[in-house]
Each structure stands twice: as C-alpha cells, then as structure tokens.
Amino acid sequence: MKLSYRGVNYEFTPPSLEVTEGEILGKYRGVNWRCHTLQETPIPQINQTLTYRGVSYGPNRVNNQVPTMGAQAGSTRTLKPVVPKAFPVRKQAEEVHRANLLRNLERRLQVAKERGDQNLISLLEAESRQIVGL
C-alpha cells in the first residue's frame, strides 16, 4: 500500500496474521458471533539505537543495563538513578514552619490559661511535646 506523510512517499506492508475461528459465542443481529484467536503473536524487533536529549536508548537495554562501546564488546554497565541534591531552602522552610507552629501553640496555650480550661491546657501541652519531638 502506498502512503504519503508530509510529502514523503513510502510503501507500507501490513503484517499478515493467522487467525483461527473459535466456537460460536452468540448472535448479533441474526449473525453468529465467533471468537477469533491469533496463532502466534508477532513481536516486532527493532535494531536501532535512538537518542533523546543526548541520551541513547533502544531495545538492547535490559534492567538499566546499557551496552558500552569500550574495548570489551558486549560488556554492560549499570546506570545509577539520578537523585537531586537536597535543597537548602527546604530545611530553612521546615525551621520557619516549626517556629510558626510553636508561636501559634504558645498563643493558644496562653488563651487557655486565661480561661482556666485545664482540659485544653493538657491537650495543648501534649501537642507541644509532639512538635518539639519532630
């Protein structure tokens, strides 16, 4: 079949599949409906190495193994996952957040003491121990 994509003509030959008809499973609009199964599933093999943003990839990769082009043909090396370095801003944000929680808790504890609510005071003191323990 002749096809064209963006002005480039090419020939496409669809893969031929061997199908067997199974038993009749039902009727649809008066016509018997059968189950069709493939004799064997075709698995296309591509022997190409592709590159995306400077990183080569292809079907030869198995479990993060990449073929190397060194002195030893067929040798592989294991890729290490890229882990971003911890952001110093995150630690600073955690400290600011904890300070805000403690300041808010102190204000709530002061109001509870002014009201004389012993139940609320004990709950706020337990919360304070949890925040300090973080």
For residues 119 and 126, the answer to whether their CB atoms sit within 8 Å is: no
- Residue 36's DSSP bridge partners are 21
| Burial class, 101, CB count within 10 angstroms (exposed 0-12 / middle 13-18 / buried 19+) | middle
Mean local confidence (pLDDT), 9-38: 81
User: How many angstroms separate the CA atoms of 7 and 13, rounded?
Assistant: 19
User: How many angstroms separate the CA atoms of 10 and 7, rounded?
Assistant: 10
Alpha-carbon torsion angle 92, 94, 99, 101, nearest 10: 160
User: How many angstroms separate the CA atoms of 118 and 134, rounded?
Assistant: 25
Confidence category of residue 1, pLDDT binned at 50, 70, 90:
confident
SS3 97: helix
Q: Dump pLDDT digits (tens) for 77-93.
A: 566 655 556 667 777 88
Q: What is the CB neighbour count within 10 angstroms for residue 124? A: 19
Q: Dump pLDDT digits (tens) for 34-58.
A: 877 777 766 666 677 778 888 877 7
Element (H, E) at 22: strand 19-28
Element (H, E) at 123: helix 118-133
Structural domain spans, the chain: 88-133
